[in-house]
Structure 1
Amino acid sequence: MESAAGTVNEVLRCGHVSREFDSYDGSGKNHVLKDVDFSVRENEFLVLFGPGQCGKTTLLNILAGLDTPTSGEVIDHGKKVGKPAPERGVVYQKTALFPWLTVMGNVEFGPRVRGLSKDERKKTADHYIDLVGLKGFEKSYPSQLSGGMRQRVGIARAYSNNPDLMLMDEPFGHLDAQTRYMMEEELQRIWQKEKRTVIFVTNNIEEALFLADRIILMTNCPSTIKKEYIIDMPHPRSYVDPEFLRLRQEITENMDKSL
């Protein structure tokens, strides 16, 4: 994406990030990420795609400020990332909603911590609950909701903090196929309406192609960037579009096999 001046509007930079951990038996190091280097543009929907257990979640945690790279750095809007911040919203596969709070209580939680007034909290929560299609369920508890509905609450909760960047780690991975397709469509609708920069992790090629402006293909561990793909297809996308099928085959053939 380019601004009127013709320069890329970069909002986040992952600069030559590597991450290693001590091995479980203490015999050496486990190298997870190796020299991962890319930038993210404003309002871009970027997908990190690769085989299972290749370090995508570790990378997302570093981008969120929940983990620290062994070398390299992450720069978010000109500032080095060293800890979590409300400017970076995170949605995980397991939503980790507060079971003792209602839908309204969960979505209001972030604005309450940020010190918004009662009226401001309710206005913000009402907006995002309506946005994710849960109007009428404000008083429901997580145990009373389906998996897809709980994930909607998680997305609304993340958006209610008004983050500049949304980080999503396989948020639909535990859902059944039909619900997953529905949630992909809903996420695309929400992204089109409430523009945010999104970094989305998945190991599902159809999901990646359905959502992404750009796909970064990761290798097996020690994981690095194998190739980038610009996905120049209009939304909404069809799973049987010839270009969709062509890219699906090309990326699948280029992907490392899971270890």
Structure 2
Amino acid sequence: MMIGQSVQNHRDEVSERGEPTAPPLMHVEDLRVRYRNGAIGVHGISFDVFPGSVVALFGPNGAGKTTTLRAVSGFVRSEGSRVVNGEVVLAGHNVTNSPPHKMARRGVSLVSERRKIFPNMTVHDNLRAMKTRVPKRRQIELTEQIDDMFPTLLSRRQLAAGRLSGGQQQMLALARGILSDPKLLLIDELTMGLHHSLHESLFDAVRRISNAGTAVVVVDESAGLALQMADYCYLMANGRVVQSGPRSLFEDQAMVAGGYVDGREAEQ
């Protein structure tokens, strides 16, 4: 299925009240995460992600957004932390505390913050490394999609990834996530440290990914653009969800901005 095709799995399967009627791809219930030092980083959060939808997590630094993404993708275990309560259900299977490689096999891909790529490898080799479990025909389709979304990478395939600009490295990190052919793509800080002129093209790529049927959960400091793209939003503060709802509920951006700067404002 090519990016840009209209896939309405989530958007069409809703009731007259605007509530989804299809089961979620991922259901997270009462999630509680304990760090290695014993501190609790996430306090009983719950959320759903539906096929083909974009979910945005908002909140100030330290709200628990990154911990949440790492918990549901299995990477939190690599830091000596773990889920100590609640459950993560993916396509009907309980995957709580599953390691990252098993989550990847089930179709979950995490694009970590700060552009995690192999800087000494070429762009081509960075991308080729993500194709190992994808059928050949699907590899070709995904590569065509990436070339269409990020033509600047196409002309730099033989360049060492470390020589790309910050924006190009983020494109590469996102392209690597897409090439794993995920059912669920988790993106942590999509535009962190990048010039604002690059933000819109990256968010456009995310929307095109979701339009092709991949569910996306995105965390980003650019709350305005994330809000425009999202189908459903969760506002977090101090490791808890303090507000959630469809995009329309958050279109008063003062509320999002307030919650982003100071979690106490969001809880009032």
Tell me which residue corresponds to 1:74.
88
SS, match of residue 69 in structure 1: strand
SS, match of residue 53 in structure 1: coil
SS, match of residue 225 in structure 1: strand
1:96 to 106, 109, 116: 116
Tell me which residue corresponds to 1:136.
155
Residues 209 and 4 of structure 1: CA distance in aligned 2, closer, same or farther (over 3 Å): closer
The AA in structure 2 aligned to 1:227 is Q
SS, match of residue 218 in structure 1: strand
Contact 2:114 2:192 in 1 (8 A): no
Identity %: 22
* Cα distance in 2 between the residues matched to 1:227 and 1:72: 19
Displacement, 1:171?
2.1
SS, match of residue 252 in structure 2: helix
* Cα distance in 2 between the residues matched to 1:54 and 1:4: 30
| Mapping of residues 209-224 of structure 1, within 5 Å | 209-220=227-238, 223-224=239-240
The AA in structure 1 aligned to 2:13 is S
| Residue 164 of structure 2 corresponds to residue 164 of structure 1 | no
* Cα distance in 1 between the residues matched to 2:14 and 2:257: 36
Displacement, 1:10?
0.8
Contact 1:54 1:218 in 2 (8 A): yes
The AA in structure 2 aligned to 1:78 is G
Residues 258 and 10 of structure 1: CA distance in aligned 2, closer, same or farther (over 3 Å): closer
Displacement, 1:140?
2.0
Cα root mean square deviation, aligned: 2.7
Unpaired segments ≥5 residues, structure 1? 24-28, 233-242
Q: Which protein has the larger Cα radius of gyration, Structure 1 or Structure 2?
A: 1
| Mapping of residues 214-253 of structure 1, within 5 Å | 214-220=232-238, 223-232=239-248, 247-253=252-258
Residues 99 and 228 of structure 1: CA distance in aligned 2, closer, same or farther (over 3 Å): same
Q: Aligned residues, how many?
A: 238
Contact 1:93 1:174 in 2 (8 A): no
SS, match of residue 57 in structure 2: strand
Residues 191 and 137 of structure 1: CA distance in aligned 2, closer, same or farther (over 3 Å): farther
* Cα distance in 1 between the residues matched to 2:142 and 2:258: 44
Tell me which residue corresponds to 2:262.
257
| Residue 26 of structure 2 corresponds to residue 12 of structure 1 | yes
The AA in structure 1 aligned to 2:74 is G
2:50 to 41, 56, 60: 41
Contact 1:18 1:33 in 2 (8 A): yes
| Residue 13 of structure 2 corresponds to residue 3 of structure 1 | yes
Displacement, 1:188?
2.8
Tell me which residue corresponds to 2:64.
55
Residues 258 and 157 of structure 1: CA distance in aligned 2, closer, same or farther (over 3 Å): same
Tell me which residue corresponds to 2:195.
176
Could you state the TM-score of these two structures normalised by the residue count of structure 1? 0.81
Contact 1:216 1:229 in 2 (8 A): yes
2:125 to 101, 105, 116: 105
Question: 1 or 2, which has the higher helix percentage?
Answer: 2
Contact 1:50 1:202 in 2 (8 A): no
Displacement, 1:70?
1.3
Displacement, 1:176?
1.8
In the TM superposition, what whole-angstrom CA distance separates every residue of 1:38-80 from its partner, at most 9, and x where no partner exists?
1111111000111111111111001111123111110111112
